[in-house]
Amino acid sequence: MGKKENLILEYTILAGVVITLLIIIFQIKTGDINLSRAIFKDLTAGRYGVQKYIDWENFQGLDINAGVTYAKFSTEQEKTGYKKAFIQSFSRGFKGAGGAFRSFVNWRIYSQDSRQAIVAADYQGRNKTLLLTLSNTGKKKLTSLQWKK
């Protein structure tokens, strides 16, 4: 192989590495947004499977300290019942108030540090912003769901 072919190969490899790094950085940034959207969508739909993405011991949901209530239950059966009831009630309340998942737009990173990432979404037509906080320690889980004040 000549010098020209080696140079082309080196630039091709370099371009591939740069593109790969950009994709990784983009995935890291959008990963928290995509996870927050999926969690919120499943909560509004009342899907019990979302429970595994919620930090029940510490969860604050729309000015309700669900973590304190959850901690009062001692058996797994009671805790499971609470999770099911919370998710179903959230979904019913959301739908009953005329909420629609598609009304939440402009999903973005609001703030981020080593402990947590806060994702914001604007509630179209209501002039409100929802903040979803994900823990950044261990497996990412929802720790808070609050309206921006």
User: What is the distance between the alpha carbons of residues 93 and 105, in angstroms, rounded to a whole number?
Assistant: 20
For 79-116, the pLDDT digits (tens) are: 999 999 999 999 999 999 888 999 999 999 999 998 99
Distance of CA 20 to the CA centre of its chain: 24
Q: What's the pLDDT tens digit per position in 33-73?
A: 999 999 999 999 999 999 999 999 999 988 889 999 999 99
Cβ atoms < 10 Å from Cβ of 147 = 12
Which residues, at least 6 apart from 78, have a Cβ–Cβ distance to it below 8 Å? none
Average pLDDT over residues 16-26: 59
The architecture that CATH gives domain 3-147 is Roll (3.10)
- Judge whether residue 78 has pLDDT over 70: yes
**Domain map (residue ranges) of the chain:** 3-147
Say yes or no to pLDDT of 27 above 60: no
Contact 131, 124 (CB under 8 A): no
Please report the pLDDT score of residue 71 as a whole number: 93
Rounded-to-integer distance, Cα 74 and Cα 98, Å: 35
Determine the 3-state secondary structure of 27 from DSSP: helix
Whole-number Å distance between alpha carbons of 121 and 41: 12
The predicted pLDDT at position 149 comes to 79
